[in-house]
Amino acid sequence: MNVRIKFSKYGPAKFIGHLDVVRYFQKAFRRSGLEVAYSAGFNPHPLLYFAAPLGLGETSDAEYMDAELLSDYPLPEIVSRLNAVMAEGFFIRAAAALPQWKPNEKKESIMSLTSCADYMVSVKDMDAEQNGVRKPYSEWLAGLCREMGEFLGEAEIIAQKAAKKGTRPVDLKPMIFAWGNSPEEICASDAGLSHADRYKNGLRLFFRLASGSVDNLKPGLIMETYCKKYGLPYLESALQFHRMETYCDLSLKDMNQEQERAAIDAGERRREFVPLLRVNTLPEGCGDDDRI
Amino acid sequence: MRKLALPDDILLRIEKPARYIGGEINSVMKDRDRIDIRFCMCFPDVYEVGMSHLGIQILYDMFNRREDTWCERVYSPWMDLDPILRERDIPLFALESQDPVRDFDFLGITLQYEMCYTNILQILDLSHIPLYAAERGENDPIVIGGGPCSYNPEPIADFFDFFYIGEGETVYGQVLDAYLENRKCGGTRADYLARVAEIEGMYVPSFYETAYREDGTIASFVPVHPAAKPVIRKQVEMSLSDTFYPEKPIVPFLRPIQDRVVLEIQRGCIRGCRFCQAGMLYRPIRARDIGFLKERAKKMIENTGQDEITLSSLSSSDYKELPELVYYLIDEFDRQKVNISLPSLRIDAFALDVMSKVQDIRKSSLTFAPEAGSQRMRNVINKGLSEENILRGASDAFRSGWNKVKLYFMLGLPTEREEDIREIAELSDRIAGVYYSLPKEERSGKVQIVTSTSFFVPKPFTPFQWAAMSTEEEFLAKQRIVSARLKELPNARSIRYNWHDADVSVMEGIFARGDRRLSRSIHDAYRAGCVYDAWTDYFKYDVWKEVFRKNGVDPGFYTSRERGVDEIFPWDFIDAGVTKEFLRREYQKGIQEVVTPNCRKACAGCGANVFHGGVCYEERKEDAE
């Protein structure tokens, strides 16, 4: 059977890089006794597909992967067997069955389905220094909530994005779908915060951003551009990025990358965001997501 | 959830932060308030190297079986973290609890190679533990050394409270019990060391004194403490099928050097190669029961989720039930897509059959370790591999589809002559020739031969412990002879030649047979910035040479000097089973090019029968291979 799995990654596990997470899950499936199908050839690898890599140091309550299993299992059993073999910082939240892929049918990869994600950005209780002044980073960013409205209200938000050679200017504006001071303001649910770290200073922001292989915006770039514009120190390690949910945009769903690009540029994107757990999956799911 | 010792800003600034977070699958967490003994195991090299070591996994499992003990791990911080820890004054911590190492009762350091000695000092220094044992106080951890280099612990003797000589499975229980007993009686650190010295195999260096002759050799080495024994007998686990062996090895998040489950099938070796320290130290050969191995293999795969298992031993082909074990593993694991890797296998029909089942012939290469190019030289070192064996093995392998061969040789062996060196090139060429003599339809493309030479370093407890080691200049001259000869040969284009660095070999030579007078130089080299000497990028030969010069150490005294028959060696106080008389006899036979049969054919009277078991008490067969 084919199954989509949603998991959280938090605590010390945020320092495990994406490729090591892939290797970790290959081994976790073997320990769980759930038999994963292997690719053919002399170097067979287990058929696990991940949606969107999470940056080193980031936490998440909405990581997704698809797995091709050799036999059928009840969904609650998949969740409990995997949770029984997880390391600290990994938690399997939910599983949903995918329809059986027909032979030779082109599979819709979970990576290409991904087009949007919600993030919480929290300010850690850490000091930052600029021009000989050292104070809590939350004090440097005290004006954040007010100024962010101003900053994001501009017609364009030009940032320098890392490119193959140096940086290139990009307009962030079309990649920011929503922002706010609470999950509700970006239409997100609190479930996406269950494994998020909390800090005493309480300063945090929420963003709904383009994510995936066509457009991809990391919340760090918004924060960096903001800090630059307002003359504030930018200290990435003093910000905690937490992914709350990952979505597919149904209005772009059946397109390839070029078509998607063209549709976005032509303003045809309708922003019909659906969490990945409910895209292509069969209705009966299992897990914490109340709307499966 | 555990709180990490390093703050986020540090972890996000360094390479591979997962090296320092612990929490791996099968790592052990305990309640620190319900523990009497906290033991920190250390492999003094970077995490990915240290996590590949079986010995620590065995001891970790063994210690953690005790309810009163919590064993954790620490590895060398990489060079990016080292300066940060110093600058921010963060004491080095254990991975599991993230607590400072200096708060532990014990720090056990495994000594796998000589070039890690400065890393030991880095670990102590970053832990804020005094480097010299004599300077440690009641609150510092007891620092223990163990592993192969503890068979000559003298160069690093000043840094350790005691050494555990031999295999860890036997008396560590007594070592810990004595600690609890001592604490109960309100004993001091010194009282504890006196108790430890009573336990067989434990060597407390501060309880001994060495006197030197005018020529620099040892005049006497004597105990100066009532508890110290004049001779320390190495520890040997005689029942390998009824002892500690992990069912749940730790699975790192990062890819270690050896990313697989390790199944140690036997300890020791029957071959008696005269250069090989492991072959002498781990005598007598002891095999594990096949039933034990099958069961452990299955459990370890189940509990780790690893997709590869490797059989470990000094010479797997000498494990009597190897075919049964290997075919069982293939059967058992094939469907689960678990790979089986078989190092140190003699190339024969069985090996070729097995390898064709478990490897991709087109990608894998065959490995031969003739160690010496000429038959004469192989007789000197007692390497029982004839040229006929090698060429037949290669020919069979080529016909089965292999076309990549790796060859390992040593330069600088005792009695070596120029023609022996040239033979290294010539044998490589003849192997390539075997390939091209096959009919074209039986070949698959070009043959690729990789010939590697290392420089011979004489080691304690080997027949060559008396022998002079070549100098750096001699080594380089020898290596040039191989290079030049290879170029003249018809198949030169099919052969790639690699060689080791001569300067590192010289350093190894100094420490391998060094004495207590070297501690000061190791300390000074560390203070002058030497660390990670085993890593080419960080090895600072010039600094070492300068430190030796300042301390009046003549490296040649330790390396290129032929020792006298009666010389007292720094390691003579250790009884490793094999006797000095046997080793001397073997040295002389070597020089006379006389071969000694393996332990299964005939007993050579090495002395290892004092351990009452293993091959020494098996029936011998004249026709044993």
Q: Across the interface, do A11 and B2 touch by the CB < 8 Å criterion?
A: yes
**What residue of B is the nearest CA neighbor of A85?**
B25
Q: List the single residue in B with minimal CA-CA distance to A43.
A: B360
**Measured distance CA(A41)–CA(A64) in Å, rounded:** 26
Q: Tally Cβ neighbours within 10 Å of residue A181.
A: 15
Looking at beta carbons, which residues of chain A come within 8 Å of B25? Answer: 27, 31, 85, 87
The C-alpha atoms of residue A117 and residue A177 are separated, in whole angstroms, by 10
pLDDT of amino acid A289: 60
Instruction: State the first-to-last Cα distance of chain A, in angstroms, to the nearest integer.
Output: 19
B8 closest CB neighbour out of A23, A38, A237: A237
- Residues in chain A within 8 Å Cβ distance of B24: 87
Q: How confident is the model at residue A292 (pLDDT cuts 50, 70, 90)?
A: very low
For residue B247, the Cα-to-chain-centroid distance in whole angstroms is 23
Tell me whether strands B286-287 and B404-411 are parallel, antiparallel or unpaired: unpaired
Residues of A within 8 A of B253 (CB-CB) are 16, 20, 23-24, 87
Contacts of B337 in chain A (CB under 8 A): 38, 44, 46
A38–B9 C-beta distance less than 8 A = no
Q: What contacts B24, CB < 8 A, 6 or more positions away?
A: A87, B250, B251, B252, B253
Q: Is the pLDDT of residue A290 over 70?
A: no
Query: What is the per-residue pLDDT for B350?
Result: 86
As a whole number of Å, the CA-based R_g of chain A is: 20
Digit-coded pLDDT (tens) for B99-115: 999 999 999 999 999 99
Spatial contact of A207 and A176, defined as CB atoms under 8 Å apart? yes
Closest approach of B36 to chain A, Cα-based (Å): 25
**DSSP string of B402-446, one letter each residue:** --EEEEEEEES-TT--HHHHHHHHHHHHHHHHHHHTS-GGG--S-
pTM (2 decimals)?
0.95
- Contact between residue A3 and residue A78 where contact means Cβ atoms under 8 Å apart: yes
Q: B9, A126: Cβ pair inside 8 Å?
A: yes
Residues with Cβ within 8 Å of residue B503, at least 6 apart in sequence? B472, B539, B541
Please tell me which residue of chain A has the smallest CA distance to B29.
A88
pLDDT in tens, A135-187: 999 999 999 988 999 999 999 999 988 888 888 999 999 999 999 999 999 98
What's the rounded mean pLDDT across residues A84-109? 87
Please report residues of B whose CB lies closer than 8 A to that of A27.
25, 251, 304-307
Maximal CA-CA distance, chain B: 80
DSSP annotation of A70: S
pLDDT for the residue A145: 87
Do residue B23 and residue A87 have CB atoms under 8 angstroms apart?
yes
User: For chain A, which residues lie within 8 Å of any Cβ of chain B, measuring from their own Cβ?
Assistant: 11-13, 15-17, 20, 23-24, 26-31, 38, 42-44, 46, 56-57, 85, 87-89, 124, 126, 235-238, 240
The percent of residues in chain A predicted with pLDDT above 70, rounded, is 97
Residue A204 has pLDDT above 70, yes or no: yes
Q: For A31, which of B9, B254, B303 is closest by C-beta distance?
A: B303
Per the CB < 8 Å rule, is B21 touching A15? yes
- Rounded Cα distance between B508 and B459, Å, is 9
Give A130 or B366, the one with higher predicted confidence: A130
pLDDT above 90: residue A190? no
- The residues of chain B scoring below 70 in pLDDT are 361-362, 625
**Per-position DSSP letters for A221-248, written without gaps between them:** HHHHHHHHHTT----GGGEEEEEEEEEE
- What is the per-residue pLDDT for B191? 98
Backbone angles phi, psi at B311, to 5 degrees: -85, 130
d(CA A83, CA B142) in angstroms, rounded, equals: 39
